[in-house]
Every structure is written in structure tokens, then in C-alpha cells.
Structure 1
Amino acid sequence: MDTVDENHLGMTKPANFQDMGNRRALRDIRNLVGAPPYPRQVGKRGLTEFLTSSSKNRIDDKNLTFEGRRPITRKFSASLANKSQLYHQETGGGHELVGIDRQKKPAPSVLSLNSLGTCTAARDVDDHKSVNELPLPMVVETEEMDNSDLKEVEMEDLVLIPDIDSCDSKNPLAVVDYVEDIYNFYRQTEIAGCVNPNYMSNQFDINEKMRAILIDWLIEVHYKFELMNQTLFLTVNIIDRFLAKQTVNRKKLQLVGVTAMLLACKYEEVSVPVVEDLILISDRAYTREEVLQMESLMVDTLQFNMSVPTPYVFMRRFLKAAQSDKQLEFLSFFIIELGLVEYQMLKFRPSLLAAAAVFTAHCTLKGFKHWSRTSELHTSYSEDQLLECSRLMVDFHQKAGNGKLTGVHRKYSTFKFGYAAKAEPALFLLDSRS
């Protein structure tokens, strides 16, 4: 027999039956006429004939839908079984429902529905019983079901989520086939990147005001180095997770900040700032050796875990669900970066922060509450769930240009970011407090 050449597939002649020895051809292996059917399996046609003949024309064939017009859910099957039992009790029928024995343990139902929508006989039915002797649990009163019950059965498991990824179906970087699974994973693991919102109580030499000063300064450094947005969010996350586990002297707090940015750059950026640049930007307050020692301490404390979902990853998805333009995008990032500075925002999950920022930006631009059904389904947050966080963001927006910490306001007051900071805050959200 000729061998197969992987580089010239199809060039060899097929093996004949003499070369096959005692092996049977595929068509002879119980897949043609003569092969015994699967035991105790009733085909769709046979089952329909059985039901119509047993019920003496009381069941309309239109009610026996196995192809999706009338879904047979657990609730539907249970209601049919109960109605059938009541029917037999009232009429004194000669047949007793299989599986209803008051003195014995319940047996499996006579008919079961598999995933393909075809009915098969239960395994516990005795072989000597013929098909005509099987009791009929689906006896009938499907026509008497009112329309409200029908709608409840059909819609109980149906949730339509608008497709926002069809426009990226040909973009391999959008990973349309896996994007929902990716964000489901983010939602399941985002709690791992959260910290105790009261961790400052364990610090003896620093407080939340010092943290706010540090992050406001790092936002300016991030802007000056022209780093990516995800780098900023990861930097803040690393700082909080480290401070939640390690006490720090106030003189070392700025060192923690620049080292966290160095780590975030190594994780996110293509071109990483060198250590000397970070030393220079911190006015040479630290040496190269101190930065490297702090880097070693931080990655050891965090157990090298840099892969945590930050608000940024949810912002990209939620802005897409909101069908955002540049104006909405800039304003949303302005609002959420104001929240990065504030210590009290640590009590909210990253996904909630992102959703609240998009919601607040929508309300700011439109002048009224606006949260579309598409955004609600993709974020899994309703308008009521976002109001608490959104009201805090409006308060930060109102005070952004005042005080000493104005780094975010100055950043988003430029042409590059569409003068987003100059938008009027949605003060009506504060007035609607219940």
C-alpha cells in the first residue's frame, strides 16, 4: 500500500478493500439499513403518532412543537404533569402516572426531553411494556393555557444583549469571539485588585491627604512623559495594594510612587522611562540603588501580581457600549481621574467606577439623567446602583479647579483633551438625592 506524503496530499491512490484485511468499511459499521436502533428510543414521527392515537384526537398536532416554536422548559413540563395528574384524579382514569407513587420513592419520568428536542423513553420502563401501554403525562390542555402564562414560559430565560462588536468582526485585535469571556473573567477577578478602603488606619506616618498629593503629582508626571492611560491606572493600583500591606515612612512615600510608575511602565509600555529620568523628576531625592531596592520590595510584597483589572479596562468596554464620541470619552476619563486622587473612592469596585464615570459624563453633556438599556446590560449596573458614586464624582468635578490639587483639571483644560474640564458639572444629580 502506498504511503501518504504530507506535502502532496491527494496524490496517492486510495487503499482498496483487499489491502484493508479484515477491517470493515465505515459504511458497514451500524450506520446503514440493518443496524439495530438505539434501545428504547422513540423517533419524532413515532412519538407523534403515539400521542395522537392515545389521546383520541384530543391533542392538536400543532401543540407538539419540537423545533423551537413552543419551548418545553422545566416549568412547562411540570405544569403539564400536574394538570395530567389532576385530570386522572377527577375522571378516575385507569392509568396511573409513572413516577407518582405515594408509598415508594418517585421514579424517573416516562418521557424525557434531550438537548436536541426529541423525546426518548425513560430507562426504567419495563421491556415487556409496549409503547401503547405508556401513560400519557402530556394529556393536553395546552390550548387552555392563557396568553400570559405562555409569554412567561417563553421569556423566562430570554435576555437579549445588543451586539456592540459586529463592527469589529474583521479586526483581529478586537478578539470579538472571546471579548465577552474576557470581560466576564475581569468581573470575576476584579475583587482581587481591590484593597481595604480603610487601610490608612494601619499607616502611622502617612494619611489620605499625602496619598492625594502623591497621585495628583504622578498624574502630571504621567502626562509629561506621554505614557499610556492604562499605565496611570495600574500605577495607582500598585501604590494602594502596596500601602495596604506595608507601612511606609512619609519620606519614602514619593519613592513608592515613582517606583510604582516604573513597574507599571515595564508592564504596559513599549518604551520604558529609565531610572535616571524618574530620579530627575523627583528632584534627585533618591538614588538609583534606593529605587531598585524599593522595586524589589514592592514586587515581593505584591507577589509579582501585576495582572489585575483596573477601571481602565472597563472604561474602554463601557464607552463602546455607550457609542461614545471623543467628547464623551475625554469627559469620562476626566471624571474618573478625579476619582483616582480621592481616597474615599476605594470603596467602589473598578467596574462600578468606570460605569459611574460614563453615566456622569452622559448626564453632564445631555443635562438630564441618561443611561441606555445597552449600557445597563453591558455594565450590569442600573442607574440607581450608580447614583451614589456618580454624585461623589459630580462633587469632585465641581471643586476640580479650586484648591491645591488641580493637576487633573489643568491636564483636561488643554486642546489635546478637548477642554473637557470646562464642562459644567451635572449639579442636578446632587439635587435629586432622596
Structure 2
Amino acid sequence: MEISPDKIQENLDSEKMVPASQMERRVLRETQNIQGNPNVDHVTKVKKEKSKEKSFYNVAKNKLTQQIMGKKTKSKSKKSTLFNVLNPEPSAILDDDLLCMDIDMLDPSAKIREMFIKRPDDVVDIYAHLNDQFNCPEYAQEVYCYLQSVERRLTFSDDYLASDPEVTPQMRAILTDWLIQVQVHEELCQQTIHLTVALIDRFLVLKGVKLQLLQLLGITCLFIAAKYVERFPPEVATLCHLTDNSFQPAQVLKLEIHVLKALNFDLNITDPTVFLDRFLEIETNQNKEIAHMSQYLLDLSLTEARFTVYQSSIMAASAMYLSRKLTNIDDPWNPTLAYYSRYSEKDLAACTKAYSKSLLKLPTSKFQGAKNKYNSMTNFDSISNHPALQNKDLLKEIAGEETLIM
């Protein structure tokens, strides 16, 4: 029922004020004596209009508050969920009439979980075995979606070096292959080397560098990435020594400032290793060779500029998919992987072909840094010599497929 302002004011005017003390009677008498004054009449009229507006506002506000805080009796309509391999992201189940006041303040996460995407029946609940505080199962999928949104701004054309007269894809490959060897020598983690290459590519896109300073850019980006990732980053003097003392520490520190300014101090880069760690948590029954082979494929892509067109999550998912396919795992990309990665086999087709072509040309390639790194039996079980990676017939078949749908 709509409440009119005139009705509200009429109710207010009908109320009779009863003086309760001598002071109130005196104020009332003085007010009645000055009613004939025109100036006082004008002031009184303005006050009445303001009081009228304020009273209407308060009544409307109270009514709206009662409607919001009251219990809703009408049924809540919910959207149905659909899921398939080609569209692994199901429809969200949302409350059409949901307001912030509807959330239970004692346990707001319970209401949010109800609103979130509903898991299909054929998808395994990975949070059943990832329920410790470090995995944060309540927020894991939301974090993954955020990282996917961040990575979209980090891709660029594979011919971004075409306009550079000095730094060519071949020179980039030489630098990257050498940096992989530096990573092994300094025992740096996987994320450090991938972040290093990402920083190099971003700086080359934004600013560029002369050929004689390309190696200086490489150790500078490695120094920045190590400080961002490692607990104990290598010393600047050590990195300069690895260049056969071609550069001085002062040059590294000076270029570091230029790199950070060019990147606007934005080091929030999602590299493929972050996504691969997430995918490896999904399938707990697979052996270590899948993890090592996936890491090997990611490192193999560092020397090739054509992989810059792919998002980090697609590169990680494709590496894991190809590893499972080469090792003859049944259903290499099952509904659980498709659901949590939000990619279907069709989405991974192009990147998987690129990995297969890299493996086919590896025996004749000059860049053997990744292969030698993963030839270690102690750290990687000599995964680079795995028989599945030598199966040229299967690799040619995968590289020549138009689609990967079986």
C-alpha cells in the first residue's frame, strides 16, 4: 500500500500537543502571540515543509527496511545446470532475489557456497582430499578464476620480434637456453625461470634492447624473478660472473630500475607452473612421470617464441594432456580435469600440436638445455629419455590431427 505525503502530514497535524510543564506552556503562549508576524509565518512555513519532507522520508525508509528484513514467502527460482566436455563451465545457481541481508552473518560462506557453481555428478570432488588449511578449498576455484583473468593480458603475437632488427627469435632462443642452464647451476625453482622469460618478453615488447645488451637483460630479469620467488636469490656478482664478467653489478642494478619502470612495477605474472601445480592436484592417482613430463614440455616451450600466443593455463593443461596421452592413460582429459581447468580437449588442440612439433624437431635442435636438465635421474627420473617421447609415429599423428576429439 502506497503512503502519500499528504496523509502523513494530516496525521501529524491532527496530533494535539499537551503541555507537561510551565516552561512548555510559556513557549506555547509566546508562539501564539507572534503568529501574526509575517516574517515568523514565513519561517514557520519553511519549517513545516522540511518537517513534511523528513516525515515522509522516515516513513518510506521504515517501510523499505521492514520489507527487506522480513522473511520472504515466495519461492526462489533457480537456474538449471548444464555441463558437457565442450563447455566445462556449468551455469551458476543464483538466487534471483538475493540481497546482502539474506546471507547468514554467522556463517556467510555457507550461503556463498550455495550460490556457487554446482559440481556435476560425474566430476570427482577434489576438495575431499585437499581439506587442509594451506590448500584453502573454500577459495581455490575463485583464485583459479582470478588467475585466468590476469593471464589474458600477458599474451601477445608470436612475431613481436619481427620489427626488431637485432633481437631475433633465434637470439631469444639462445638466451633462453642459456638461462635454463643458469637455473640448473644455481638450483633455482621452476617458477623463477618461467617468470624470467615472461619478464624478458614483456620488456622486449614495451621497450626493446640492443643485441649486445640482451644477455644483460637476461640476468637482470633473472635477478628480479629470483628476488620475487626465491627465499635466497643469487648474488648480482655471481650472475655477472656467469656471463664471463661481460657485465658489472652496477649495470645490472641500473637496468633493473629501467625494467621495473617499464613494467610499472607490475610483477603479477601468472606463469604455467602455477596452473600445472593446480592440475596435478586434481588427479592424485597418477605417477610422478606425468608431473615430470609436463614440466619438461613447459621448459621445452621457453626457447620458442611461438608459444607466447598461448595463455599460461592453456600451456599447462596442454602439457599435462599430452603427457597423459603419450603414456596411454585411459581418458587423458576426463570430466574432472575439464571441469576444474575449464578447458575441453578441443581448447587444447592447437597448443598440443605445438608441443608435438617441438618434440619432433628436438633431436636436430641446437637448444638442448631443457633436455639435458631433465636427463637427470636424481631429480626427474631421466624423463627426457622416456620411450613415449621417442614415439615419432604417435607424435606425428597428434601434430597432424585437426581435432583431438576421439
TM-score normalised by structure 1 residue count: 0.63
By how many angstroms is 1:202 displaced? Answer: 3.1
Give the conservation status (yes or no) of the 8 Å contact 1:311–1:354: yes
Pick the aligned partner of 1:310 from 247, 271, 275: 271
Q: 1:383-418: CA deviations, max 9, x gaps?
A: 111111101101212232332111101111110211
Name the counterpart of 1:432: 401
Name the counterpart of 1:108: none
By how many angstroms is 1:114 displaced? Answer: 5.2
Name the counterpart of 1:339: 301
* Partner amino acid, structure 2, of 1:297: H
* Partner amino acid, structure 2, of 1:355: A
By how many angstroms is 1:358 displaced? Answer: 0.5
Instruction: Write out the 4+ residue segments of structure 1 that deviate beyond 3 Å after TM superposition.
Output: 41-44, 71-75, 113-116, 431-434
Q: 1:200-246: CA deviations, max 9, x gaps?
A: 02322110010011001101110111111111110011000001011
Return the alpha-carbon distance in structure 2 between the equivalents of residues 268 and 187 of structure 1. Answer: 20
By how many angstroms is 1:43 displaced? Answer: 8.6
By how many angstroms is 1:158 displaced? Answer: 5.3
Please tell me whether residue 281 in structure 1 is matched to residue 259 in structure 2.
no
Return the alpha-carbon distance in structure 2 between the equivalents of residues 186 and 375 of structure 1. Answer: 17
Backbone CA RMSD of aligned residues: 2.6
Name the counterpart of 2:383: 420
Return the alpha-carbon distance in structure 2 between the equivalents of residues 276 and 42 of structure 1. Answer: 69
Name the counterpart of 2:332: 370
Return the alpha-carbon distance in structure 2 between the equivalents of residues 239 and 227 of structure 1. Answer: 17
What are the residue-to-residue correspondences of 1:45-64 with 2, within 5 Å?
Answer: none
Aligned residues: 296
Relative to structure 1, the CA distance from residue 287 to residue 169 in structure 2 (aligned partners, 3 Å threshold; closer, same or farther) is: same
Name the counterpart of 1:79: none
Give the conservation status (yes or no) of the 8 Å contact 1:231–1:268: yes
Please tell me whether residue 393 in structure 1 is matched to residue 355 in structure 2.
yes
By how many angstroms is 1:163 displaced? Answer: 2.3
Name the counterpart of 1:22: none
Pick the aligned partner of 1:382 from 333, 344, 350: 344
Higher RCO (Cα < 8 Å, 6 or more apart) = 2
Long gaps (5+) in structure 2 = 1-65, 81-95, 100-116
Return the alpha-carbon distance in structure 1 between the equivalents of residues 250 and 78 of structure 2. Answer: 67
Return the alpha-carbon distance in structure 2 between the equivalents of residues 277 and 255 of structure 1. Answer: 13
Give the conservation status (yes or no) of the 8 Å contact 2:356–2:399: yes
Return the alpha-carbon distance in structure 2 between the equivalents of residues 264 and 311 of structure 1. Answer: 15
Give the conservation status (yes or no) of the 8 Å contact 1:204–1:247: no
Give the conservation status (yes or no) of the 8 Å contact 1:214–1:254: yes
Pick the aligned partner of 1:213 from 152, 166, 174: 174
Pick the aligned partner of 1:267 from 224, 228, 239: 228
Return the alpha-carbon distance in structure 2 between the equivalents of residues 369 and 398 of structure 1. Answer: 24
Relative to structure 1, the CA distance from residue 254 to residue 115 in structure 2 (aligned partners, 3 Å threshold; closer, same or farther) is: closer
Return the alpha-carbon distance in structure 2 between the equivalents of residues 385 and 267 of structure 1. Answer: 31
Return the alpha-carbon distance in structure 2 between the equivalents of residues 308 and 431 of structure 1. Answer: 32
By how many angstroms is 1:318 displaced? Answer: 1.3
Q: 1:339-374: CA deviations, max 9, x gaps?
A: 111111111111111111010111111177621111
Pick the aligned partner of 2:292 from 330, 343, 352: 330
* Partner amino acid, structure 2, of 1:231: T
Q: 1:182-214: CA deviations, max 9, x gaps?
A: 111101111223234322023221100100110
Return the alpha-carbon distance in structure 1 between the equivalents of residues 247 and 79 of structure 2. Answer: 68
Give the conservation status (yes or no) of the 8 Å contact 1:322–1:372: no
Give the conservation status (yes or no) of the 8 Å contact 2:353–2:400: no
Relative to structure 1, the CA distance from residue 345 to residue 115 in structure 2 (aligned partners, 3 Å threshold; closer, same or farther) is: closer
Please tell me whether residue 258 in structure 1 is matched to residue 212 in structure 2.
no
Return the alpha-carbon distance in structure 2 between the equivalents of residues 394 and 318 of structure 1. Answer: 20
Name the counterpart of 1:109: none
Relative to structure 1, the CA distance from residue 419 to residue 277 in structure 2 (aligned partners, 3 Å threshold; closer, same or farther) is: same
Deviates further, 317-326 or 379-388:
317-326
Return the alpha-carbon distance in structure 2 between the equivalents of residues 178 and 411 of structure 1. Answer: 35
Relative to structure 1, the CA distance from residue 330 to residue 43 in structure 2 (aligned partners, 3 Å threshold; closer, same or farther) is: closer
Name the counterpart of 2:311: 349
Give the conservation status (yes or no) of the 8 Å contact 2:294–2:320: yes
Q: 1:288-331: CA deviations, max 9, x gaps?
A: 11111111111111111111111111111112223343110000
Return the alpha-carbon distance in structure 2 between the equivalents of residues 367 and 430 of structure 1. Answer: 19
Return the alpha-carbon distance in structure 2 between the equivalents of residues 321 and 74 of structure 1. Answer: 27
Return the alpha-carbon distance in structure 2 between the equivalents of residues 184 and 338 of structure 1. Answer: 26
Q: Secondary structure at the match of 1:202?
A: coil
Q: 1:29-88: CA deviations, max 9, x gaps?
A: xxxxxxxxx78x9996xx9xxxxxxxxxxxxxxxxxx6xxxx84479xxxxxxxxxxxxx
* Partner amino acid, structure 1, of 2:267: M
Return the alpha-carbon distance in structure 2 between the equivalents of residues 192 and 393 of structure 1. Answer: 23
Pick the aligned partner of 2:189 from 204, 228, 235: 228
* Partner amino acid, structure 1, of 2:323: A
Q: Secondary structure at the match of 2:156?
A: coil
* Partner amino acid, structure 1, of 2:384: A
Return the alpha-carbon distance in structure 2 between the equivalents of residues 377 and 74 of structure 1. Answer: 19
Return the alpha-carbon distance in structure 2 between the equivalents of residues 351 and 371 of structure 1. Answer: 15
Please tell me whether residue 410 in structure 1 is matched to residue 372 in structure 2.
yes
Long gaps (5+) in structure 1 = 1-37, 48-65, 76-112, 117-156
* Partner amino acid, structure 1, of 2:262: T
Give the conservation status (yes or no) of the 8 Å contact 2:352–2:399: no
Aligned-pair identity in percent equals: 26
